[in-house]
Amino acid sequence: MAHFNPAQAQPLEPLLDLVDVDITRGKRQLLCNLNLAFNAGEFIALAGENGCGKSSLLTVLGGLAPLEKGTLSFNGQPLSEISLQRLADYRAVMAQSASTPFGFLVDEILQLARHHIVESPANRHHIIGEIAEQFDITHLLSRNIQTLSGGERQRVFLSKAILQLLPISSHDSLEGKLLLLDEPTSALDLRHQKLVMQQLVSLSQQGLCIVCVSHDLNLISPYCSRMILLAEQGCIADDKPENALTIDTLARCYHTQLNLIRNLDNDVFVTH
């Protein structure tokens, strides 16, 4: 296993570089010859119809599923050569239906997220407290995870993924780190949707690269820096959201006629 040292990466090298990748599940080829590069500080929305391969792609990007064809490098090094233990410092994944079969307390789950980080108990307590505050779960810390609502649970697992990546000191950058989120806002009310989007923008401004699967294009497009639409076994749009979303790309993506409204800030909203 090669030693992973992000400091050795070239500054202009993408954080994550996917070249000629195929993804097959069962007998279906989902994605074919996919080429994508992700950079530090980007907040990328990933969208596409049910079953097009968004979650499958995310597991490949996170190193949780093997590559069948193509190459995937992270900070200039083949992802498959980086041990999962080492990878834990640099990329976190929030799965689509994140849950636990055991009745852990929320605080215990958040502590587990930082088991690979050497830090004082006081530091850990402080960082968990700050994130709990930011994601409005402070009042849930002593609750059993299995008794939470879907939206409450989503905020806990999102906090857990972020806590896995946060440095010991808030002065350290999040550059070189990757957060992969699979529909993290699907169960959230409007206040918490907005709160989560604002927090994700703030993290990306600190250098974190975020890839977020979402069906809620109207929620995410004003916040994300880039939008990727998957269809026809590949990427049919990859641009700023106001350019990626057109009547044509939406029709190719969702196989139905949708309309677009543009506001004075050039934000684009999809309507039926």
Q: Which is nearer to ligand ADP, 54 or 177 (CB)?
A: 54
Q: Which is nearer to Mg ion, 14 or 53 (CB)?
A: 53
Exactly one of 30, 92, 162, 165 binds ligand ADP (CB under 6 A); that residue is 30
Which string of DSSP letters, residue by residue, matches the chain? Answer: -PPP-GGGS-TTS-SEEEEEEEEEETTEEEEEEEEEEE-TT-EEEEEESTTSSHHHHHHHHTTSS--SEEEEEETTEEGGGS-HHHHTTTEEEE-TT---SS--BHHHHHHHTTTTS---HHHHHHHHHHHHHHTT-GGGTTSBGGGS-HHHHHHHHHHHHHHHH--SSTTS--TT-EEEEESTTTT--HHHHHHHHHHHHHHHHTT-EEEEE-S-HHHHTTT-SEEEEEETTEEEEEE-HHHH--HHHHHHHHSS--EEEE-TT--EEEE-
26 binds ligand ADP (CB under 6 A): yes
Query: Taking CB positions, which residue lies at the least distance from ligand ADP?
Result: 26
> Could you give the string, one character per residue 200-219, with x where binding to ligand ADP holds by CB under 6 A and - elsewhere?
--------------------
Q: From ligand ADP, Mg ion, none, which one binds at residue 111 (CB under 5 to 8 Å depending on kind)?
A: none
Q: From Mg ion, ligand ADP, none, which one binds at residue 114 (CB under 5 to 8 Å depending on kind)?
A: none
Exactly one of 25, 116, 125, 126 binds ligand ADP (CB under 6 A); that residue is 25
Interaction residues for ligand ADP, span 46-85 (CB under 6 A): 48, 50-56
Q: Give the nearest distance from C-beta 239 to ligand ADP in angstroms.
A: 20
253 binds ligand ADP (CB under 6 A): no
Interaction residues for Mg ion, span 96-155 (CB under 5 A): 96
Query: What's the one-letter identity of residue 271?
Result: T
Interaction residues for Mg ion, span 35-94 (CB under 5 A): 54-55
Q: Which is nearer to ligand ADP, 51 or 103 (CB)?
A: 51
- How many residues bind to Mg ion according to rule CB under 5 A? 3
Q: Which is nearer to Mg ion, 53 or 176 (CB)?
A: 53
Q: Which is nearer to ligand ADP, 107 or 238 (CB)?
A: 238
Give 253's contacts (C-beta < 8 A, 6+ positions apart): 47, 48, 49, 229, 230, 231, 236, 237
Q: Of 57, 92, 51, which Cα lies nearest the Cα of 72?
A: 57
Q: Which residues bind Mg ion (CB under 5 A)?
A: 54-55, 96
Q: Which residues bind ligand ADP (CB under 6 A)?
A: 25-26, 28, 30, 48, 50-56
